[in-house]
Amino acid sequence: MPAIPMVELWRGGMLESIHSGHAVVCDERGDVIEAWGDPFAVIFPRSSCKMIQALPLLESGAADAAGVGSAQLALACASHNAAHVHTEAVGRWLGELGLGEADLRCGPQMPDDPDARKEIVCSGGAACQIHNNCSGKHAGFLTLARHLGAGPEYVEPDHPVQRAVKLAFEEVTGETSPGYGIDGCSAPNFATTVHGLARAMARFAAADPEGTTRERAAARLWRAMVAHPDLVAGEGRACTSLMRAMGGRVAVKTGAEAVFVAILPEQKRGIALKIVDGGTRASEAAVTALLVRTGVLDAGHTVVGQYLTDPIRNRRGLAVGEMRLASGFAA
């Protein structure tokens, strides 16, 4: 089944661009409630699955043994902007482990936060690995590796950390992963179907905070995300803005190449979507539309305008175009 048109860009009364994709909404049983495109399309979830990658950190007892708190759990699920609030927290976490920046394996990255970037450029300095948007996830990996007494190369696919991640990933998606790719941060990223990813998010949404070890871990992670939306992404980012707009009721997470997921605890539902051309603007618009459709985001909220309904303006502030949902998607 092919991808379907989801998001259109119109300019001068003409259709200029079309973004196609796949999307699935799952219930707590993992059954598909609604789908667009191909639910069985195999994708790399990229950073949208960081809460899955963080499950072994909690289930192993490593987080509690190290005194990891809610803010650190949010950072373990984050693709952050490397603002001071992010890098200082990751630095403290590493220090509490008796580790440092050199123990990370995510690679350096210039901050997306404009103030942090300006500081580095104006000082003639260089970005380090703590600035990497995945440094919180990697601090979580290091916490688990230390707890397991495992070696320092925690991003290797056969390392105990990544074996634990793969097991958790396959269990919550309900699928055997057909393979993996190496993510931008050097960790393995296991493939699954869009349905599998939505099923995993529904399991997070339905997790009983007093239930099994898996359920308690899942509930702690999504609750940490909504408690600290500023840490999950940062100012001006869709994940942070959308979670703030929904007042802690829903956790959302983006991934590179236009993947987006949502965890809807009140409805015990999960959402996963993939825009096939990798266009971020389209994945942000599409997830916004699905959040409105499912009733967890007010259609009149300013964030809906920001990511979907406001006019597209040029550099002089003139309204020159608009985003529209394609016929048949999220209507």
Question: Cβ–Cβ contacts within 10 Å for residue 98, how many?
Answer: 8
Q: What is the pLDDT of residue 13?
A: 95
Instruction: Report the DSSP pairing between strands 180-182 and 42-43.
Output: unpaired
Are the CB atoms for 17 and 275 separated by under 8 Å? no
Q: What is the pLDDT of residue 250?
A: 98
Crossing angle of helices 280-293 and 238-245, in 10° steps, is 10
Q: What is the pLDDT of residue 331?
A: 76
Q: What is the pLDDT of residue 1?
A: 79
Residue where the block lists tokens 């703030």: 244
Q: What is the pLDDT of residue 112?
A: 97
Q: Which residues of 297-321 are buried (b: 16+ CB within 10 A; e: fewer)?
A: beeebebbebbbbeeeeeeeeeeeb
Q: What is the pLDDT of residue 156?
A: 98
- Give the mean pLDDT per block of 10 residues along the chain (331 residues): 96 98 98 98 98 98 98 98 98 98 98 98 97 98 98 98 98 98 98 98 98 98 98 98 98 98 98 98 98 98 98 97 96 76
The pTM for the full model equals 0.97
Query: What is the dotted CATH code of the domain comprising 4-325?
Result: 3.40.710
Q: Which residues of 266-278 are buried (b: 16+ CB within 10 A; e: fewer)?
A: ebbbbbbbbbbee
